[in-house]
Amino acid sequence: MAYDLLLKNGTVIDPSQAVHDVRDVAIADGKIAAVEAGIDEGAAREVVDAAGLIVMPGLVDLHVHVFWGASHYGIDPDYGNVAKGVTTALDAGSSGARTFLAFRRYVLERAETRLYALLNISA
- Per residue in 51-79, pLDDT (tens digit) is 999 999 999 999 999 999 887 889 999 98
**How far is 39 from 87, CA to CA, in rounded Å?**
26
Task: Kindly give the pairing relationship between strand 19-28 and strand 31-36.
Answer: antiparallel
For residue 68, what is the DSSP state?
A: T
pLDDT tier for residue 123 given thresholds of 50, 70 and 90: low
Strands (E), 50-113: 54-55, 59-64, 86-96
Residue (of 84, 122, 120) closest to 103 by Cα position: 120
**Do residues 37 and 79 make contact, with C-beta atoms less than 8 angstroms apart?**
no
